[in-house]
Structures are given as structure tokens and as C-alpha cells.
């Protein structure tokens, strides 16, 4: 199993399924296309990350050893009803701007996940991506913030937690104190909807161990 992400949060979440993946981060252009909806964006980015890792594996001298490996890629975005997407803040002032915009309002957190089975000996597609068996899905959670004061925003930004988080907050850390209500999958907001992922892996592989391991609460 290969995780196309170096996020420690995703690595920790996927470990709950009894998976200790090899980590191969994907380097892609995450720019939004004109008129692209948030859901289309996050699904495409997950798919492109998985494709990038498969291409990397194809160029590896040991590609044959990775044959049939499953690549898991994910991307998480924060967005609002008007279609505005909040990525990672550029600096502390940008983080403050994002938190002001999210303050006292409801927003959405969507994670796109792509699963691809790498085939070392398959022919390439017309676009140059290795031929693979693939599936992708998106999970969305609704989050409502309390009305935040300028002092609260400044204090949270000073914690240093905002710099590498989409939407400038981490719900698993001090950012939980910003949240008034959540509707949906909590771990999806953290960065990976593992409950849904476990079920998709069962369908994708026919192996029930992923879900059974999670339910038993220990690695297989």
C-alpha cells in the first residue's frame, strides 16, 4: 500500500485500518481550473496525485516489485456556499483573513480520495498515465464556527497551528475551540474519511480485513 501524502494526520488515520503504507508524496499543480466547482476540484486533485505517484513508480528501476500495489491519494479543501475555496494560508495575515471570513458562519470541508492499483506491466494510456484499476469518491462535512473576536483569531494564529492547514485551522488541535457545530464525518475534517475509506477498500480489493481491523481496534 502506498500513501500519496506526507501528512502526519493522514498517516495516523490510515494506521487505524491496520495499514502501514510506504509514503510517496505527489507533487502536482493544485491550481483551480476556471469555473471548476469545489467538489470537482478536490476529486480531480486526488486523482492527479494518484496518477503522479503511478508515473513515479513506472520510472522506478524496481517497478516490478510494486506491481499490484494500491495507491491511496487524498486532498482536502475548505469551501463556502458561494464557491469560495480556502487553501493553506500564505502567512499569518492571510490566516487571520480566512478565519474572519469563516467566523460565525457555516462552511464545508470536502476530502477527495482516489484509489489506484498500480500495474507495472500494463500499457500506458494516451495521456501517458499507467493503465490501472481506479476508483474515486468525495466526502463532505458541514462545520459551523462560533463568532470569533479579533483577540481570539490573533491568539489562534499565534499558536502556529494555522500555517499548514486548509482554511487555516486544525479541528484535531486548538482549532476545535473555534467550532460550534459539526455535521458529518469528523475525521474527514482532519483529512481522511477513514470509515468510508475502509468500506471502499473492501469493495476495491475484496479484502474485509481493513474494516474488521478497524472494528477490532488494532493493526492486522
State the Cα–Cα distance between residues 218 and 199, nearest whole angstrom: 17
Mean pLDDT computed over 130-142: 84
Active site annotation includes 60:
no
Return the CATH class of domain 2-216. alpha beta
Q: How far is CA 123 from CA 17, 100, 120, 126, in A?
A: 32, 50, 9, 10
Query: Of 60, 75, 82, 91, which is the active-site residue?
Result: 75
> Which residues lie below 8 Å from residue 82, measured CB to CB, with a gap of 6+?
none
State the Cα–Cα distance between residues 11 and 128, nearest whole angstrom: 29
What is the model's pLDDT at position 120?
59
- In tens, the pLDDT along 156-190 reads 999 999 998 999 999 999 999 999 999 999 999 99
pTM beyond cutoff 0.75: yes
What is the model's pLDDT at position 215?
82
What is the model's pLDDT at position 131?
47
The answer, yes or no, to whether residue 66 has pLDDT greater than 70, is no
Mean pLDDT computed over 120-135: 57
State the Cα–Cα distance between residues 61 and 199, nearest whole angstrom: 33
Amino acid at each position: 500500500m502506498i500513501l500519496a501524502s506526507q501528512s502526519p494526520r493522514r498517516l495516523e488515520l490510515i494506521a487505524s485500518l491496520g495499514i502501514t503504507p510506504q509514503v510517496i508524496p505527489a507533487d502536482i499543480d493544485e491550481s483551480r481550473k476556471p469555473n471548476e466547482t469545489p467538489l470537482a476540484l478536490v476529486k480531480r486533485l486526488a486523482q492527479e496525485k494518484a496518477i503522479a505517484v503511478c508515473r513515479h513508480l513506472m520510472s522506478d528501476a524496481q517497478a516490478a516489485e510494486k506491481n499490484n500495489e494500491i495507491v491511496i491519494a487524498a486532498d482536502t479543501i475548505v469551501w463556502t456556499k458561494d464557491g469560495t475555496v480556502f487553501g493553506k494560508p500564505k502567512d499569518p495575515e492571510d490566516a487571520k483573513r480566512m478565519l474572519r471570513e469563516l467566523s460565525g458562519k457555516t462552511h464545508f470541508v470536502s476530502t477527495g480520495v482516489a484509489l489506484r492499483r498500480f500495474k507495472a506491466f500494463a500499457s500506458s494510456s494516451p495521456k501517458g498515465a499507467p493503465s490501472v484499476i481506479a476508483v474515486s469518491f468525495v466526502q463532505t462535512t458541514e462545520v459551523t464556527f462560533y463568532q470569533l473576536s479579533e483577540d481570539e483569531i490573533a491568539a489562534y494564529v499565534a499558536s502556529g497551528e494555522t500555517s499548514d492547514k486548509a482554511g487555516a485551522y486544525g479541528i484535531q488541535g486548538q482549532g476545535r475551540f473555534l467550532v460550534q457545530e459539526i455535521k458529518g464525518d469528523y475525521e474527514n475534517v482532519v483529512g481522511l474519511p477513514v470509515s468510508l475509506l475502509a468500506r471502499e477498500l473492501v469493495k476495491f480489493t475484496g479484502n474485509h480485513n481493513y474494516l474488521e481491523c478497524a472494528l477490532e481496534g488494532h493493526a492486522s
